């Protein structure tokens, strides 16, 4: 099925405006996280250290009761979630790190006694401890991977296309990262959502997906540049014009539009199934992927090519500009 032709380049200011509408609240959320948590996003146990405990109770329990028990036991700010493991309902508790191991053991012993007294018998499935030393190392390696990814993409796109193509592609990627990180920053401020090492994996996956889509569009633009200057008849006015770079870019985006949308839809459908049926433990990772894929598809279609056209027109005006002489 062929999609109707859309004059994307003509309404580029609208697309840029929508991007600003999506990124500005996220930037505000990142600033709020920096003030409150001293980090651009609320860091999870993977970065700050702590414990992840999975308990299976014989009877259904209320999550709020578990939170109250943790609060009274001195583990304030803990996260409590319900998950399905092997067809059984499991309570997953994420608690903060403690500097003293003896104090940590005492708190867990008191916690087990309180849970047993108020909620009934339970079975400890797993207790995983993340060291506070591992957190900074994970964060440093994640940021390094992000930087190397951007650098490798600039080199590749510069080699395959031109430097302005590379800069526009990176600008689209920065947009995607800002939208994704900004959304989770707002969730961290409003709902206490934390990010872990899986979030970095989601960001890197989104970057790869987005740049792949952008390269497909740019490759078609490069193929169609041979038609710049060729004559065509406007179907609305009936007037004859010569094709500009903007016309070629618009035709190229429309030629790849169906492919981009259909490819993204197949990924989104799979992610939606994972989000609703995959359990609690991977839900935030899948949500990050959903937001990133949607943003990446949008930026590849509406931002990257329009930004390239705007830059080419700006450079063309600078070349043709002749300052007035006295």
Domains and CATH numbers, the chain: 12-39+135-320 (1.20.1640.10), 50-130 (3.30.70.3400)
Long-range contacts of 120-124 (CB under 8 A, 24+ apart): 120/57, 120/58, 120/59, 120/61, 121/57, 121/58, 122/55, 122/56, 122/57, 122/58, 123/55, 123/56, 124/53, 124/54, 124/55
pLDDT for residue 152: 83
**Alpha helix (H) residue ranges in 100-133:** 101-119
Residue 124 bridge partners (DSSP): 55
Tens digits of residue pLDDT in 214-236: 888 999 998 998 888 888 776 66
Which DSSP state fits 124? E
Neighbours of 10 (CB within 10 A): 11
Whole-number CA gyration radius for the chain: 26
Tens digits of residue pLDDT in 248-284: 999 999 999 888 889 899 999 999 998 888 766 688 8
Q: How far apart are CA 83 and CA 92, in angstroms?
A: 7
> For residue 229, what are its two tokens?
């200057």
Q: How far apart are CA 318 and CA 101, in angstroms?
A: 66
pLDDT for residue 95: 80
82-86, 129-133, 157-161, 309-313: segment of lowest average pLDDT: 129-133
pLDDT for residue 163: 84
Q: Which of 197, 180, 204, 200 is nearest to 49 (CA)?
A: 197
Please determine, for residue 184, whether its predicted confidence score (pLDDT) is greater than 70. Answer: yes
Q: What is the pTM of this model?
A: 0.79
Neighbours of 264 (CB within 10 A): 19
């Amino acid at each position: 099925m062929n999609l109707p032709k859309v004059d994307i380049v003509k309404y580029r200011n609208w697309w840029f405006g929508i991007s600003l509408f999506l990124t500005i609240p996220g930037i505000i959320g990142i600033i709020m996280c920096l003030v409150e948590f001293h980090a651009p996003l609320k860091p999870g146990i993977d970065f700050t250290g702590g414990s992840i405990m999975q308990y299976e109770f014989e009877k259904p329990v209320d999550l709020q009761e578990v939170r109250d028990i943790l609060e009274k036991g001195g583990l304030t700010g803990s996260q409590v979630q319900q998950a399905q493991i092997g067809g059984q309902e499991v309570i997953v508790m994420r608690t903060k790190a403690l500097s003293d191991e003896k104090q940590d053991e005492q708190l867990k012993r008191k916690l087990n006694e309180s849970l047993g007294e108020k909620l009934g018998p339970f079975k400890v499935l797993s207790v995983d401890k993340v060291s506070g030393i591992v957190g900074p190392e994970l964060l440093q390696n994640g940021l390094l991977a992000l930087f190397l990814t951007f650098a490798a993409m600039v080199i590749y796109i510069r080699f395959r296309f031109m430097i302005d193509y590379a800069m526009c592609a990176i600008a689209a990627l920065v947009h995607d990262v800002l939208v994704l990180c900004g959304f989770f920053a707002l969730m961290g401020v409003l709902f206490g959502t934390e990010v872990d090492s899986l979030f970095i994996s989601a960001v890197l996956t989104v970057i790869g997906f987005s740049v792949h889509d952008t390269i497909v569009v740019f490759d078609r633009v490069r193929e169609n540049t041979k038609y710049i200057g060729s004559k065509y008849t406007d179907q609305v006015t009936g007037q004859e014009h010569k094709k500009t770079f903007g016309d070629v870019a618009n035709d190229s985006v429309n030629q790849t539009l169906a492919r981009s949308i259909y490819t993204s839809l197949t990924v989104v459908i799979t992610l939606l199934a994972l989000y609703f049926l995959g359990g609690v433990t991977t839900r935030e990772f899948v949500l990050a992927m959903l937001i990133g894929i949607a943003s990446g598809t949008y930026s590849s279609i509406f931002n990257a090519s329009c930004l390239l056209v705007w830059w080419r027109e700006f450079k063309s005006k600078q070349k043709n500009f002749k300052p007035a002489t006295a």
